[in-house]
Amino acid sequence: MRRIVAFFFVLVMFASLGYGQSVKKMATDVDMVRHHLREYREEFGIPGMAAVVVTSESFLSIATDGIRRLGEADSIQEDDKFHIGSNTKAMTGFVAARLVEKGLIKWDTRILDVFPEFAESTMDVYTDKTLKDLLSHRARIRQFTGGMEFAQLPEFEGDKLERRRAFTGWLLQQEPVEIDTARGYVYSNAGYGIAAAMLEKVTNKSWEQLMTDELFSPLGIDGSFGWPAFEDSSQTWGHYFETDSQRVFPHDPHDEYQLPDIASAAGDVSISILDYAKFLQVNLIGLNGRDTVLTAATYEFLHPCVDSLMQYGVGWGLREHEGYKVSRHNGSAGTFYCTALVFREKDLALGIVMNGITPEAEKALADLRVRVLQDYLE
């Protein structure tokens, strides 16, 4: 039996977070989006899907379709969690921004400013690399986008914080990768591991605790780490694709396939579509020039407005879609899939999650995005 399991591949202002539409209008939108979900879910063999469309003032639609786990009858609900993979990066960037605004670290703080003990063993190319370089994939750190790279690592001793620091020291001794000259960056999960270690060092808190303190709690989000069903089997299960049978099967959340905690900051958050809507909306509010738990200026820093074909901000890819500038990201660790788009000019954001992967899943989601967005981008 052969599986396809791809390794790795967002306070007071909540007075304005809510269902601003009429009940009748929202029900119509929910039915429309659910229809799209069902059509694509059934065509591509995905067990369950959920989607949300929000503006800075309201939730336009939250829709779900399908089941939590193949072989079970439980339907997907709005508060069921999905693993969002690399869409975690925007959340790690958000936490970094909170700490920058608190004066605990700066965007131009160098890796060696935080870890001077690595200075003698660090390759020269990394000596001037900063927190911003890491979070925007410009530090030339090895990519670690496949499971084999992690499998070949040495054993790092200690607790999570100690292992992440050890991983940082090891990475700084490795040959750099070349920057993609067309894009201006090279995608690196390991770079986010270093960034997390830096945030941990300046706060003496784990990345997980920082996520809770600086993102989940202020935004009223019930986020968790690892597979959704790891601690609660009634939660949503991921599904992998078996090439021999051309079918998807439930992934046991307790089997040997777990994401390494040294790179959790790059892609290991689980969250419901309802809570993901809060994260997307707070970014829209900031991009509309309003301070929230971050200042509006910081949101502009996270989502720099660019004119080139494709760039990368802090946890967000940046490009144009149908003539509109959009921040976007996809995330998957092989058994779930998440996609998100934030349109600042249209004051609109879309998030879609699903609990299964097929070879056509990415194309299906790309088509689904267009179908849903054409109902709103008019």
pLDDT for 308 equals 54
pLDDT for 104 equals 98
End residue of a domain, out of 145, 171, 205 = 205
Q: Within a domain: residue 108?
A: yes
End residue of a domain, out of 205, 227, 258 = 205
In this prediction, the residues of the chain whose per-residue pLDDT falls under 50 are 1-26
Q: Using DSSP, state whether 352 is helix, strand or coil.
A: strand
pLDDT for 24 equals 42
| Contact yes or no for 376/53 (Cβ under 8 A) | yes
Pair 119, 228 in one domain: no
Pair 181, 299 in one domain: no
Pair 46, 166 in one domain: no
pLDDT for 21 equals 46
Which residues does residue 3 pair with via DSSP β-bridges, in sequence order?
Answer: 242
The Cα 155–Cα 287 span in angstroms is 42
pLDDT for 141 equals 97
Pair 189, 230 in one domain: no
Q: Within a domain: residue 378?
A: no
End residue of a domain, out of 205, 238, 269 = 205
Q: Within a domain: residue 161?
A: yes
Residue holding tokens 């579509």?
273
Pair 173, 265 in one domain: no
| Contact yes or no for 49/64 (Cβ under 8 A) | yes
Which residues does residue 249 pair with via DSSP β-bridges, in sequence order?
Answer: 240
How many structural domains compose the chain? 2
- pTM of the shown model: 0.92
Token pair in block for residue 46: 């995905």
Domain carrying residue 138: 92-205
pLDDT for 364 equals 81
Instruction: Please report, for residues 104, 141, 295, the alpha-carbon distance to residue 202 in angstroms, rounded to integers and kept in the order given.
Output: 7, 21, 21
CB neighbours of residue 272 within 10 Å: 27
Considering only CA atoms, which of 357, 82, 353, 354 is closest in space to residue 235? 82
